[in-house]
Every structure is written in structure tokens, then in C-alpha cells.
Amino acid sequence: MKNIITLSVITSSFLVAGAYKLPEQSINSTALSGAYVAHTTGADTAYFNPANMAFLNSNNHLVEVGGTLVHLPENKFIGNQALSPTDIHSANGESKVEDIGISYLHFVSNPIGSFRWGSSVTIPAGLSKRWDSSYQKLFAEEFTLKVVEFNPVVSYRVSNNFAIGGGIRAIYSEGKVYSDGGEVGVPIKREMEGDTLEYGYNLATTYKPMPDINLAMTYRSNINLKEEGDANLYIGNLGKQYSADVTVPLPASLNLAVSKTWQDRYTLEFNYERTYWSKYKSLDFNYGSTIKAPLIEPFDNPKAKNWEDTDTFRVGATIKMDSVTYMLAYAKDETPIPKKYINYELPDSDGDIFSMGFRVKATDSISWGLSYLHDEKESITLKAGENINGIIGKFGGGGADLFTAGINYEF
């Protein structure tokens, strides 16, 4: 099977700040909870604000390479599952703990007149949510998504205090969706796997009204992922493969940021991010041939999602000492998912994010660092009739812990 992923998998993966989006793609960005747009200082500038490449102090090539361990604690559910208004069952369960390793690479060239170019290879999103409990498996036995982004960028220094930048986003994704209702007497099952390659763009500007103040704006475009391929759908032990397609919006995001530096040593940055999740209106598959009648309701009829645009607020502090730089930050994040539309593949909620880290300058050309981020999710309580998926009860746990290590090199 190839080239087919459900919309639920893809969109749920692009959330930490609302769930499993991974804006943290370097030592600094993890340590600063993503409050790293106005004041960027290394090779990761290519990814977080390409306009700032024009203002980097170094005239050398810059490289940062590293990795992040993403630890996803289990989601716990205590409550009931209503298959109909009169068919209600106890559905206590918990998802599996997931540990996912990701890597990244950032590069910035030396200046070429007023221009500078760079590129990044990142894993900007990822999800693995697996349930062994029976009623959760009916909806989401396994939802897994891997995403890789290649982002070449260029900057232009318009004047001594104003620069612009931007580039192309090439996104490759592959995913897996399994669900199985056999254990609860619902004899339907699906097995879907696939991949896609799509393109978008990003833009950035930075204005320095004073040498120690940066005002920045970045924008990442919406990308529609059109997934095409095959899906295996089963009734009892009888299965059939269908050609299928679905179009998935990956929402645009806008960042507005300001930073202030004192004595070339202390920096404070405020960041506001708006993510346009309202593009996600419904989940609707198209099949190349008519599927069997019992499969139409669970797998073919459009499913309302009606996600909402979200706001994330971040504040980060950087303290630069002689050979060590310390960072810490806090962020408040919203979920895009109204309670009415929550399901087991992404029981997401608002979160509080805390982070810290440091970088050590080992030589004139080499530095290394470590950082840690904790995302604490609020619990969710769903009353009878409040959720269109028939979930009645309380979700707890979840969130994420990120551990990042990396090395920087100038040449």
C-alpha cells in the first residue's frame, strides 16, 4: 500500500504547541521554547529567521548539527465510549509511551556582498500514538507520521538596519493509520500507509530601530498535501484494496517578535505566533470505486473537524557569559481542537511550556550545547453529548519532553 494518509494523522502531528508540532529544531530554539525569531545568532538562523542571516556577526560559513529525543508520555482516559445514544461502554485505557529520535542540520554561507544564503534539513513534525485498549483501537490503533523538510533560503541586507529573507519549503511525509473494531464487536478494520512530497515557501523581515533592538516577522505558507494511493479496508476477515485520495491542509503560521539586548550580554525576547488551523474544516476521502455499504459511514462520509486558529505566546531570556551562554523560557499554547471534535488520535489541550539550556564555546570555531523542554498539558473532561465521537470522560497525561544536543562549527 502506498501514498495514503488520513487527514487526522497529518494535522495532529503538526501541533507542540498544540500537541506534536515541533518548532524546536536546534539547541537555542529548544532552550527558548521557540522564542527565537527576533534574536537569532547561529546557523539555525537559516530556519528560524532567514532575514537575520544578513546581520550575523561572523563572516565565516556556519554549521549546526544535532538531534532531539522526543519523549511522549501516555495519554490516560477514564470514562465511557458511546457507540450510539443507548449503546455505552466503559472505555478506560492509556496510550503507549513513545520515544522518538529526530535530527537536524543548519547551514549559513559567508556573505556575498549584501546577500547570504543558507539551508536547513529538519523534522518539523511527527506523531506516534498507539492504543492497545479495545475502544480506542476502534478509532486509532496506531497513528504514526514522519515529516522531513528541506528549506533553502536567502537573505538581502537592504540597509544597515533592515533585511529581508525567504525560501522554498520542500516537505516529504510518510504515515501509517491502523484501526480495528474486532475486539468490541464492530467487524471493520483499516490499514493505510503512504507518502507525499509537497512545496511551500517562507518569508522573513527584520528591522533594527536601534542596534540593541530587533523587530522581526516570519511567515510560513499553507501547504496542501494531496495524498493519493491505496487503502485496505476490511469487513470481518474479507478485505479489498481501493484507490483513494485526500487533500490535507498544513496551516500557515505567522510570527511577530521583538528582542532587546543590554550590555551585549542580556537578551529578552517576546514572540507571538498565530497558526491558521481553521483551514481544517473536514476529513473527506475519495475512492476510485464504490466501497461496501458498511464501510461508508466510518471511512467515506465526511467528518466535521472545524479546528480553530490558535495563539501561542513565548518569552525567552539569554545570558551570555565569557564562554557559556545560558537560556530559559516559558510559553503558553492553545489547542486548535474544540472539545466537540476531540478523538483518540489526538486528545489535545492547552499547554504550559518550560525550557532551559546552555551553550559552551570550546574553541574559536567550535561550540556545543544541551537543552531541555517540558510541555505540560491540561486535563480534558467531556460530558455526555458534548463530543460528536461519543467520548464521555476525562483525558489526562500527555504532553512532551524534549532533550536536544548539538554542535556548532565555523569555517
pLDDT exceeds cutoff 90 at 321: yes
pLDDT band at 284 (very low <50, low <70, confident <90, very high): confident
What pLDDT does residue 8 have? Answer: 38
Average pLDDT on 275-301 reads 84
Q: Are 165 and 49 in contact (CB under 8 A)?
A: yes
CA distances from 292 to 75, 107, 113 (A): 34, 51, 64
What pLDDT does residue 126 have? Answer: 62
CA distances from 47 to 94, 106, 127, 148, 398 (A): 36, 7, 21, 13, 28
Those residues with Cβ within 8 angstroms of residue 258's Cβ, 6 or more apart along the chain or in another chain: 38, 213, 214, 215, 216, 269, 270
What pLDDT does residue 125 have? Answer: 67
Burial 113-126 (b: 16+ CB within 10 A, else e): eeebbbbbbbbbbb
Residue 292: φ, ψ to 5° = -65, 150
Residue of 238 and 341 predicted with greater confidence: 341
What pLDDT does residue 320 have? Answer: 96
What pLDDT does residue 69 have? Answer: 92
Average pLDDT on 163-172 reads 96
pLDDT exceeds cutoff 90 at 237: no
Asked which of 5-19, 28-42, 98-112, 141-155 is least confident by mean pLDDT, the reply is: 5-19
What pLDDT does residue 103 have? Answer: 92
Q: Which residue type does 369 have?
A: G
d(CA 309, CA 249): 13
d(CA 345, CA 142): 8
Minimal CA–CA distance to 95: which of 71, 70, 128?
128
Q: Give me the percent of the chain exceeding a pLDDT of 70.
A: 94
What is the set of domains in the chain, with CATH numbers?
7-410 (2.40.160.60)
Q: Which residues pair with 402 in a beta bridge?
A: 70, 373
Average pLDDT on 380-398 reads 93
Asked which of 91-100, 311-320, 378-387 is least confident by mean pLDDT, the reply is: 91-100
The segment with the largest mean pLDDT, out of 96-100, 115-119, 186-190, 238-242, is: 115-119
What pLDDT does residue 18 have? Answer: 45
As a whole number of Å, the end-to-end CA separation of the chain is 45
